[in-house]
């Protein structure tokens, strides 16, 4: 028998509210652990960027961004999402599920929350270089966003007040 195909590498794992687990691999495919089905976003990208974003949504399902295109996985399967004000080719540089519903997206130099087909909240311009990747984004219990960047350290983005910034100069061991 032929040897199994090499594993393209797992880049993220998420669990939704219903206990469904999905794994994202480096090729941009989502695999549902419960039934083994493999889903490929319908974004017509044959060679996805090595930078993929993945988030489990509190309302259930998952979201995937690759090469600036957003797809969601829910009961209807994997579906492309057209974002207002986002041409789709300029990149989504960070993403996290929101406790209020929807997704926090970092794109077009903005930090905004997308829910039910529209932008519903903003934290304004990114305080770091707009084309710099946010390698980790999470919403904290108090509603602040913690954003780890590739080279500019950690930012805490609050509603209605200036961000806090941490890097090598004030306590972080490095800026990545």
Nearest to 107 by CA among 82, 133, 81: 133
168 in Cβ contact with 153 (< 8 Å): yes
Residue 27: left if φ>0, alpha if ψ -120 to 50, beta else—which one?
alpha
pTM score, two decimals?
0.77
Four-CA torsion 105, 107, 109, 110, nearest 10 degrees: -30
Q: Give residue 150's pLDDT.
A: 82
Tens of pLDDT, residue by residue, the chain (176 residues)? 655 555 667 777 777 667 778 787 777 777 888 888 887 766 555 444 444 566 666 666 677 776 667 878 777 777 788 887 766 556 788 888 888 888 899 988 899 999 988 999 999 999 998 777 788 889 999 999 999 988 889 999 999 999 999 988 887 787 66
157 in Cβ contact with 126 (< 8 Å): no
């Amino acid at each position: 028998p032929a040897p199994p195909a090499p594993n393209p590498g797992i880049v993220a794992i998420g669990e939704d509210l219903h206990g469904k687990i999905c794994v994202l691999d480096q090729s941009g495919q989502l695999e549902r652990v419960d039934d083994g089905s493999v889903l490929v976003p319908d974004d017509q990208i044959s060679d996805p960027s090595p930078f993929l974003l993945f988030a489990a949504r509190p309302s259930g399902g998952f979201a995937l961004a690759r090469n600036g295109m957003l797809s969601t996985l829910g009961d209807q399967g994997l579906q492309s999402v057209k974002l207002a004000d986002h041409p789709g080719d300029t990149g989504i540089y960070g993403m996290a599920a929101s406790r209020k519903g929807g997704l926090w997206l970092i794109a077009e130099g903005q930090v905004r929350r997308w829910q039910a087909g529209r932008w519903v909240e903003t934290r304004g311009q990114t305080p770091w270089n707009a084309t710099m990747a946010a390698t980790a984004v999470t919403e904290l219990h108090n509603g602040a966003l913690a954003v780890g960047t590739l080279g500019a350290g950690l930012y805490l983005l609050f509603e209605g007040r200036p961000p806090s910034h941490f890097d090598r100069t004030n306590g972080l061991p490095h800026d990545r």
